């Protein structure tokens, strides 16, 4: 159930770094600035460039994006960047630059950055076409004119990196759903494409549930059904419109930047101004009461079903059951200081280190122990959807009364509902609200915090 890794997560930061380096190097070449002048201009350029690129979606180049789209994005981006550069020079009084030289700088930046962008796009396409790298394995459900056109697109355009595996007819095979689901799991298929015209609403629901529970990307070829009335994302493969079922706000580049920046700032603040002095004090108390380490780390399941070590202050006596048995009310393993830490949720504070290194977020679905994830994935519908985003120290489900021990099926079912609502309706203000309520609850104490 693990989603195949995508290079875009590594490629975009590298491209940002290359482009900002081009901005700085060409500024030094054209303007011969002093060290201080170059530093201020570089900071202004970098911030302006990043903010503009996130808003203009300058780096949102996908495998199916056409060259004319790249050129259009680049022109819009550079037009806005030009205005900002002239705005900077109009305010900065420390040195004078003539207008032609500024235009020479901007033109060279435009040529350099666009050249790198087109080169990376070209090399990725060649890499997919000739070396078979960065491929997305696909199947198509439904056999008609549109699905045959999509199949032809996949087969005739290997540079886009889609490897067509199989088409399942809805007419020739009554068990096409079960066969396709089994095939997806056995062949580790990445993306499922469905013809809306070939499926009933009940069949669509089954496919949606399967894709959600197994972390597969699901897309539709539209027809005249009421799906047009929904706010879904539309991409074009050649001239074919393709609909993506679930659009997660946190996956938008600007929102990713905003959430990650907030996580880094918040975690650094807590680590520097709280944990730096609190940890030594708690370490002494924990050590005095019981033998064992100060910190406790436990394997948990994170984004894309990836396992990581979740940090906590140790609140229980050392035993061999810590990684397998969930804490229960009046658990004899909990120490006296541990009871206080758990009641106030202070035992969770070391997870800000997980946030800082990028394994967790301040707000998100709470991560479960590995064995719990595997168990709930089999019995709870759409449980795996929550792994599309990073797990959090706190979350919407936790402030809504579904934290701690899972006593009944209702607890985990409602937790999943709140988690899915969060990832589909994320906003900065929702995060702030969750953090604020979490802080109030920590001071008041939560009856399920034990």
H or E element: which one contains 185? helix 176-187
Instruction: Examine the domain organization and report whether 275 and 330 are in the same domain.
Output: yes
Please identify, among 215, 247, 279, the residue that sits at the C-terminal boundary of a domain.
Answer: 247
Residues composing the chain: 450
163 and 198 in a common domain: yes
Q: Both 282 and 212 in a single domain?
A: no
The percentage of residues in the chain with a pLDDT greater than 90, rounded to a whole number, is 39
- Look over the chain and give the mean of its residue pLDDT values, rounded to a whole number: 85
Q: Is 3 within a domain?
A: no
**CA 354-360-363 angle, 5° bins:** 125
Are the C-beta atoms of residues 201 and 225 closer than 8 Å to each other?
no
User: 45 and 177, same structural domain?
Assistant: no
Pull the structure tokens for residue 109. 């930046």
**What pLDDT band is residue 290 in, cutting at 50, 70 and 90?**
confident
For tokens 């970098």, what's the residue? 46
Tell whether 1 is covered by a domain.
no
Let me know whether 290 and 375 are in one domain: yes
What was the pLDDT predicted at 229? Answer: 40
Model confidence over 424-436: pLDDT tens digits? 888 888 899 999 9
Q: Which residue has the tokens 């030594």?
A: 280
Verify that 306 and 403 share a domain, yes or no. Answer: yes
What does pTM read for this prediction? 0.65
Task: Return the C-alpha torsion angle 246, 63, 189, 305, nearest 10.
Answer: -60
- Taking residues 36-43, what's their average pLDDT? 87
Residue 351: CB atoms within 10 A of its CB come to 23
The pLDDT value given to residue 193: 96
**How far is residue 80's CA from residue 169's CA, in Å, rounded to a whole number?**
49
Does 417 map to a domain? Answer: yes
In the three-class reduction of DSSP (H, G, I as helix; E, B as strand; rest coil), residue 377 is classed as helix
Side-chain-facing half-sphere of 166: CA atoms under 13 Å: 15
Q: What domain range includes position 221?
A: 136-247
Burial (CB count within 10 angstroms: exposed 0-12, middle 13-18, buried 19+), residue 160: buried
Q: Return the minimum-mean-pLDDT range out of 91-95, 174-178, 268-272.
A: 91-95
Domain contains 15: yes
What local confidence, expressed as pLDDT, does residue 450 receive?
Answer: 46
SS (H, E, C) 113-132: HHHHHHHHHHHHHHHHHHHC
Q: Do 94 and 179 reside in the same domain of the chain?
A: no
For range 112-125, the mean pLDDT: 90
CA 346 to chain CA mean position, Å: 27
For residues 419 and 394, membership in a common domain is answered with yes
Q: Could you tell me if residue 188 is left (phi over 0), alpha (psi between -120 and 50 degrees) or otherwise beta?
A: left
The CA–CA distances, whole Å, from 161 to 2, 15, 321 equal 19, 20, 46
Lowest mean pLDDT of 42-56, 345-359, 434-448, name the range: 434-448
Is 258 inside a domain boundary? yes
CATH of the domain at 230: 3.40.50.2300
Point out the domain boundary residue: 217, 247, 277: 247
- 161-204 per-position pLDDT tens digit: 899 999 999 988 889 999 999 999 999 999 999 998 889 989 99
Domain identity same for 218 and 301: no
As beta bridge partners, residue 193 has: 140, 219
Q: Are residues 113 and 161 in the same domain?
A: no
The counts of H helices and E strands in the chain are 15, 10
Enter the DSSP assignment of 273.
I
**Residue that is last in its domain, among 98, 113, 131:** 131
Q: Is 398 inside a domain boundary?
A: yes
On whether both 303 and 345 belong to a single domain, the answer is yes
Number of structural domains in the chain: 3
* pLDDT for residue 224 is more than 60: no
Q: Is the same domain home to 153 and 177?
A: yes
Residue 345 lies in a domain: yes
Domain membership of residue 450 (yes or no) is no
Terminal-to-terminal C-alpha distance of the chain: 32
């Amino acid at each position: 159930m693990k989603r195949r890794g995508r290079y875009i997560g590594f490629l975009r930061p590298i491209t940002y770094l290359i482009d900002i380096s081009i901005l700085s190097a060409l500024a030094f070449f054209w303007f011969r600035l002093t060290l201080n002048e170059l530093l201020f201009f570089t900071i202004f350029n970098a911030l302006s460039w990043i903010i503009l690129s996130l808003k203009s979606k300058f780096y949102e180049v996908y495998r199916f994006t056409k060259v004319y789209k790249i050129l259009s994005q680049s022109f819009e981006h550079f037009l806005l960047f030009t205005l900002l550069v002239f705005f900077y020079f109009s305010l900065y009084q420390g040195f004078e630059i003539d207008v032609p030289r500024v235009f020479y700088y901007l033109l060279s930046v435009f040529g350099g950055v666009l050249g790198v962008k087109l080169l990376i796009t070209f090399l990725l396409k060649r890499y997919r076409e000739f070396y078979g790298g960065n491929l997305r394995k696909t199947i198509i459900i439904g056999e008609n004119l549109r699905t045959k056109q999509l199949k032809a697109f996949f087969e005739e355009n290997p540079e886009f990196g889609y490897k067509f595996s199989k088409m399942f007819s809805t007419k020739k095979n009554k068990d096409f759903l079960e066969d396709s689901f089994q095939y997806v799991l056995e062949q580790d298929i990445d993306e499922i494409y469905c013809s809306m015209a070939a499926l009933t609403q009940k069949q669509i629901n089954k496919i949606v549930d399967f894709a959600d529970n197994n972390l597969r990307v699901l897309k539709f070829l539209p027809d005249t059904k009421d799906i047009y009335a929904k706010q879904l994302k539309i991409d074009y493969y050649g001239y074919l419109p393709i609909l993506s079922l679930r659009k997660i706000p946190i996956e938008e580049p600007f929102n990713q930047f905003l959430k990650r920046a907030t996580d880094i700032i918040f975690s650094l603040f807590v680590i520097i101004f709280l944990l730096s002095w609190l940890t030594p004090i708690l370490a002494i108390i924990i050590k005095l009461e019981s033998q064992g380490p100060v910190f406790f780390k436990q394997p948990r399941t994170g984004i894309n079903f990836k396992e990581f070590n979740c940090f906590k202050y140790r609140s229980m006596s050392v035993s061999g059951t810590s990684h397998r048995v969930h804490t229960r009310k009046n658990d004899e393993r909990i120490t006296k200081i541990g009871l206080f830490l758990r009641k106030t949720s202070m035992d969770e504070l070391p997870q800000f280190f997980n946030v800082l290194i990028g394994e967790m977020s301040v707000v998100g679905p709470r991560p479960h122990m590995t064995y719990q994830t595997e168990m709930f994935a089999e019995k709870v519908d759409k449980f795996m959807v929550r792994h599309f985003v990073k797990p959090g120290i706190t979350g919407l489900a936790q402030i809504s009364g579904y934290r701690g021990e899972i006593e009944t099926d209702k607890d985990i079912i409602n937790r999943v509902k709140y988690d899915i609502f969060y990832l589909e309706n994320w906003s900065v203000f929702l995060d702030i609200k969750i953090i604020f309520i979490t802080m109030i609850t920590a001071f008041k104490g939560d009856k399920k915090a034990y």
